[in-house]
Amino acid sequence: MEYKGHKFENIKFDTDGQVGIITLNRPERLNALSIGLQSEVETVLGELEKDDGIGAVIITGGPRSDGRPCFSAGADIKEMREKGGTYTQAAMGTLEEGLLKTLTTIGSNRNMAYQSFWNKVQDFSKPLIAAIDGVCTAGGLELVMRCDIIIVAETAEIRDLHLKTLGILGGGGLQTWLPRLVNPGKAKELVWTGDPIDGSEAWRIGFAQRLSTSDKLLEDAMELAKKIAAMPLLALKLSKIAINNSLDQGIYNSLRFSALSESVLRLFKADEQTKAREAFGQKGE
C-alpha cells in the first residue's frame, strides 16, 4: 500500500470522499501494535493533518488469518522480547536507573517513546472514529480510547489483560481514559478481572457511542464519518480542542476556553458564518 509516497506493510489506507480509512493489517499477529505499525499510523496521521480534503478518519482492524474479525490484540509482546521494548528490564536498566528515567521524563514534561504514539493519536486535530469488531484488548483498547467516537459490533470482544496475564498496568493511559468512558467502579472491575465484554455491553455502559452488527460496522462508521467530515473543518478542529480540554479543566476555565475558541472561529470565518446565518434565516421566510 502507498499514500503520499509512503509505502505500508502493516496497515492499509484508503479514502472515500472526505473520509480516510486506516486498517490495521497484521493478520498473523492479530493486528498487534508493532513498532512498524505504530510508525505507519503516525505517518498517515501526519499526512492527513496537511490534507484539507479529509475531514474525518476511521481506524479499524482487518480480519485475522482465519477470517474472523479483529481490531488489535495490543502490543507485540514477541517483538518486545526480541528487541527490548520500552518497559523491559533491558530498556529500563537497574531499578535505580528506571526510577531516574521515569522521574526525569515526568519532570521535564517529555514523552517516553512508547507514550509518543498514543499522544500523536490523541493530538490528531481531526475527528477519529474507531470501528471495533472481534478482539480488542490491551494496547488495542488503549488505542481505541484515544479516538473521539467508538462504534462497536455486537460481536466485539473487549477486555484488558495487562494485570491478569502480565501483572503490569496498561502503559498507554488505560487507568486515565477508561474511568472517563465508564464509571470508575466498572473500570476497576474490567482492569482487575480481565473479563471480556461484548459490543452490546460496551454500548450499554457508555464505552461505545454506537452499536452495530459485524456486517454493517464499516457502513455505519462511514455514514457517521461522512456526516462529520461535511462540517466546516476549522470549526471541527476547534470543537475537538475545546471538548478535550474541558476534561482537564474546571467548569469556569472550560467555559472561558470554549468562548475563546468561538472567538477565534468568528475571526477566521466571519464571512462564511454571515452567509450561513443569512441562508438559514431565509429558510424560515
Most confident of 48-52, 161-165, 279-283: 48-52
More confidently predicted of 265 and 96: 96
So what's the pLDDT on residue 277? Answer: 47
So what's the pLDDT on residue 107? Answer: 54
Separation between Cα atoms, residue 59 and residue 148, nearest integer Å: 11
So what's the pLDDT on residue 83? Answer: 67
Burial 113-125 (b: 16+ CB within 10 A, else e): ebbebbebbbebe
pLDDT band with cut points at 50, 70 and 90 for residue 79: confident
More confidently predicted of 18 and 91: 18
So what's the pLDDT on residue 184? Answer: 92
Check whether 8 has a pLDDT greater than 90: yes
So what's the pLDDT on residue 166? Answer: 79
So what's the pLDDT on residue 173? Answer: 81
So what's the pLDDT on residue 151? Answer: 98
Mean pLDDT of 61-68: 96
So what's the pLDDT on residue 284? Answer: 46
Mean pLDDT of 67-88: 78
Give the predicted TM-score (pTM) of the model: 0.82
Span 180-225, pLDDT tens digits: 899 999 999 999 999 999 999 999 999 999 999 999 999 999 999 9
Burial 11-44 (b: 16+ CB within 10 A, else e): bebeeeebbbbbbbbbbebbbbbbbebbebbebb
Span 35-55, pLDDT tens digits: 999 999 999 999 999 999 999
Span 224-257, pLDDT tens digits: 999 999 999 998 998 998 888 887 766 656 566 5
